[in-house]
A and B are shown apart, each in its own frame.
With several copies, the nearest count.
Chain A
Amino acid sequence: MNNSNINEMNDLSIVLCGEAGQGIQTVEQILTRVMKLSGFNVFATKEYMSRIRGGANSTEIRIASRRVSAFVDQIDILIPLSQGAIKHLEKRITPQTVILAEKSAFEKECLSDKCNIINIPFNQMATDLGSPIYANIIAIGAVSGLLGLDLQIINQFLQQRFSTKEEEVIRKNIEAAEKGYTIGVELSRSGKVRIGLPPSSQAKDEIILSGFEAVALGAIAGGCNFISSYPMSPSTGVWIFLTQHSKEFDIITEQTEDEISAINMAIGAWYAGARGMVTTSGGGFALMVEGLSLTGMLETPVVIHLGQRPGPATGLPTRTEQADLGFVLHAGHGEFPRIILTPGTMEDAFYLSQKAFDLADKFQVPVFILTDQYFLDSYYNLPSLNLSDIKNQSHVVRTNKEYKRYLMTENGISPRGIPGYGEGLVSVDSDEHDEEGHITEDLDLRTKMVDKRLKKLELIKEETIPPELIGNESYQTLIIGWGSTYHTIKEALDILGREDVSFLHFKQVYPLHPNTSDYFKKARKVIIVENNATSQLGGLIKLYLGFEIQDKILKYNGLPFSVEEILEKLKNFI
């Protein structure tokens, strides 16, 4: 076997692959934290099957000197944790991939000569230590050794992490890490595997955030104090996070009997003075559509986090897709405005989720935070989140005796009172209603009420988050993307390094910012990238800007785009 010199670039991709329930998540967590504490930038993402045990799941961890935040196909180091792992990743394994594994156990999966297995008897070593469960920690140690980390950092971290465990357990884990570490160092020293990856001190003190954490933290920042939901992958993480911090932040959190109840509770909560949200996925949201229409008529704010996954119906519950945009845009009978936010970065997710509550409250409309499994389940380090500009304003008014919930105003927004605050009465009604909120059959009033509700869209446009242009202002080719593809496209373009190609990322897809057309007019060529089969943002752009995008890069097998994939597909076009 030849010696392996892994990328002279400042970037390493480690993939762990094994069965569900085998502890991949623990390895992933420890490894990313230890790497960050050692001064590396980290990124992790996972793909997994819809099952609790067995199958083949994998996590990719990127470790780099510069920031990394996107999925790559490349595997520099593969650590297979169970049979079938190598087969599962077949397409991504190259002769450059170093496989750290018990050779005898995995050799038979290597059908090609691509398999560069460095034999490490993880299991034997673990058993020697007293139990096979130490194998994972040995692997962590080995990688750390390869990278030449400071063993102290690892030991400290393990100590802290297992602090609730018995002394013996801690000791064994540290011992396991050290055993692995020695092997790693040895591999590196012997030249068998050589990794040239300088740490960058910047990362050390940064925070690590996943998509679901960023959304949840943003919700807290936005004053969320009520969440009613029904479990559904991949959206449940947001709710779990909020629940686990519900005491610190006075959040009512309730598991409902179904999604219909969830949305109606959230609406009731806003009515009574809370800032409520729901978190769900496409199928759960399908059950909330009537409730969505209710918010349109009641002019109740509501925040809906929708983590997309491949449909139709149950589809691929644990996979990713961006195929619910058209649905969300048109959901609900009747006509009423809405806002759709589509964060691309952890910062986006945080600030937009915060803003979602303010927008909902201010305009009395439903606001969507549209993410996907890939986004929610990925994480990386970032400097921090700046809270200094966050100031939530409650748009609730104290009512007086003359209060009318649907007072006709010039801009269509009626001051929103809540019951019990002031002397007035607050009446909201799902029927067409008069200014007081009482059911009406006055058909002239009906027209006025429709106009009043729709008018708000113009106001909303004034506060629309413009798309972000990444790259040169004077581009010839413009790449379009939205939501979770942000970092992947950005990294691909970085690599492409073409001055004339820029990237326009939409963080709010509806309503579109009034100046959006300008970007299209300037471009000679426009290419859209979407994780769906029918180019839904393309449709939206055609509908609202009249601009038809011919060149499309679409993917809908349940996996996110990789940087390489974007790069290659782009090359076909430009």
Chain B
Amino acid sequence: MDKKIFDMGDIDIAWCPGCGNFGILNILKQTLAELEIPPEKLVLVSGIGQAAKMPHYLRTNIFNGLHGRSLPAATAIKAVNPELTVIAESGDGCTYGEGGNHFIHAIRRNPNITNIVHNNMVYGLTKGQASPTSQAGFKTPVQVDGVMVEPFNPIAVAVALDASFVARAFVGDAPKAKEIFKKAILHKGYALVDIFQPCVSFNKVNNYQWFKEHTYYLEESYDPHDRNQAFKRATEKDKLPLGVFYINPNKSTFEENVGVYNQNKEPLYRRELDRLKPLQNLIDSRRKA
């Protein structure tokens, strides 16, 4: 499939020149094309932020909801129509700040969706406040003395929640990022990809150079099935590992658990709205009890 199928044509993209978001958009298009996912069968779900504008720049079905709320919407969309490929995509602030509670509980629920988090370690759209992933010491107009706490570690938390797929990528390495995206989308169950994305306007510290210097890939031999090992690697500090940290292949998905697909595989919209006969029975049963 040609990735052009996802192009929006001549539109005005609201990102800053040089922003890491462009790279992610490109990588995602490429991934989808290589996986042969048709636009009509894909839904991009997002919250609000710069990252969250992504769905507007990729020709497919989109649900651009509220700040912090991409995961509940994405979970429901997938549950209601498992034939759709669902990708929830948003920023670090959106996902780990405002949306923190959904992050935890979506991981537990384990819908078969991919969650791509553009981690620029800052609130971009609102002009540069600290995000949960901002590094200690990061100065902003409201963190005047710099961030005082350690950054939120989404990888470690996801491992602690026994997430079914946990990975980190860097937009500066498109081929590798694409491979990680692919694995995530192909993975059955909730798949987190936290992807480092420089914000050229509001994060002058964590730029391309910084990410290059502060990351490295988990070695080939690394086995992502060992949770303790994954935790250990997730909490490394000097250099931040990239790659797939953890896979738990033994979890059932939310769609499997909801029960309505046990016998009938049809998505809900293809089923009858009127269920008057069993309803009449149910009503009649109230005559006796």
Contact = CB atoms under 8 A, between A and B. Distances in A.
Given A231-B127, A249-B279, A273-B267, 6 more contacts: A231-B126, A268-B45, A269-B79, A273-B268, A392-B273, A428-B63
The residue among B43, B83, B267 with the most chain A CB atoms within 10 A of its own CB is: B43
Nearest to A273: B269
Contacts of B59: 425
B16 A244 contact: no
Nearest to B57: A438
B287 A21 contact: no
Interface in A202-224: 205-209, 213, 217, 220-221, 223
Interface of B: 11-12, 14-17, 39-41, 43, 45, 48, 50, 53, 55-56, 59-69, 71-81, 83-84, 97-98, 100-102, 104-105, 109, 123-127, 129-130, 132, 141-144, 201-202, 258-260, 264, 267-269, 271, 273-276, 278-280, 282-284, 286-289
Contact of B83 (A244, A313, A420): A420
B248 to A, nearest CB: 20
A359 to B, nearest CB: 14
Contacts of B127: 52, 231, 236
A191 interface: no
B126 A243 contact: no
B68 A258 contact: yes
Interface string A251-284: 1111111101110111111011111100000010
Enumerate the 10 nearest inter-chain pairs by beta-carbon distance, A residue then B residue, closest first.
Answer: A273-B269, A268-B76, A268-B73, A223-B273, A419-B61, A53-B16, A207-B286, A257-B105, A264-B72, A51-B14
Interface string A179-214: 000000000000000000000000001111100010
B126 to A, nearest CB: 4
A248 interface: yes
Contacts of B201: 21, 52-53
Contact of B73 (A233, A257, A264): A264
30 contacts: A54-B14, A54-B17, A160-B288, A207-B284, A207-B286, A226-B80, A233-B126, A240-B142, A249-B279, A250-B264, A257-B101, A257-B105, A264-B72, A265-B72, A267-B76, A269-B77, A272-B269, A283-B67, A294-B65, A314-B66, A418-B269, A419-B43, A419-B61, A419-B81, A420-B40, A420-B61, A420-B83, A425-B60, A428-B63, A438-B11
A431 interface: yes
Contacts of B273: 223, 275, 392-394
The residue among B43, B73, B81, B105 with the most chain A CB atoms within 10 A of its own CB is: B73
Given A52-B127, A255-B143, A419-B84, A429 B56 contact: yes
B84 A420 contact: yes
A124 to B, nearest CB: 24
Nearest to A207: B286
A251 B143 CA distance: 13
B61 A252 contact: no
Contacts of A220: 275, 279, 282
A125 to B, nearest CB: 25
Contacts of A253: 142, 258
For chain A, give the interface size range.
35 or more
A275 B268 CA distance: 9
B113 to A, nearest CB: 11
A445 interface: no
Contact of A53 (B17, B104, B109): B17
Contacts of B50: 52
A432 to B, nearest CB: 11
Contacts of B141: 240, 243-244
B258 A252 contact: yes
Chief secondary structure at chain A's binding surface: mixed
Interface of A: 21, 33, 49-55, 160, 205-209, 213, 217, 220-221, 223, 225-226, 228, 230-233, 236, 239-240, 243-258, 260-262, 264-269, 271-276, 283, 290-291, 294, 298, 313-314, 317, 384-385, 387, 390-394, 396, 418-431, 437-439
Contacts of A33: 289
A264 B126 CA distance: 22
B201 to A, nearest CB: 5
Contacts of B279: 217, 220-221, 249, 387
Contact of B77 (A251, A261, A271, A283): A271
B76 A266 contact: yes
Contact of B260 (A252, A258, A385, A394): A252
Contact of B268 (A225, A236, A244, A261): A225
Contacts of B62: 425-429, 437
B70 to A, nearest CB: 9
A350 to B, nearest CB: 9
A274 B101 contact: no
A257 B60 CA distance: 29
A434 B267 CA distance: 29
Contacts of A260: 69, 72, 101-102
B77 A50 contact: no
Contacts of A21: 16, 201
Given A266-B76, A273-B80, A387-B280, A283 B61 contact: no
Contacts of B276: 221, 387, 390
Contacts of A423: 40
The residue among A251, A264, A294, A423 with the most chain B CB atoms within 10 A of its own CB is: A264
B84 A231 contact: no
Contacts of A257: 97-98, 100-102, 104-105, 132
B129 A255 contact: yes
A205 B74 CA distance: 46
A264 B69 contact: yes
A253 B41 CA distance: 24
Contacts of B126: 231-233, 236
A291 B66 contact: yes
B268 A256 contact: no
A226 B76 contact: yes
Contacts of A255: 129-130, 142-143
B16 A252 contact: no
A250 B264 CA distance: 9
Given A258-B98, A264-B72, A314-B66, A231 B258 contact: no
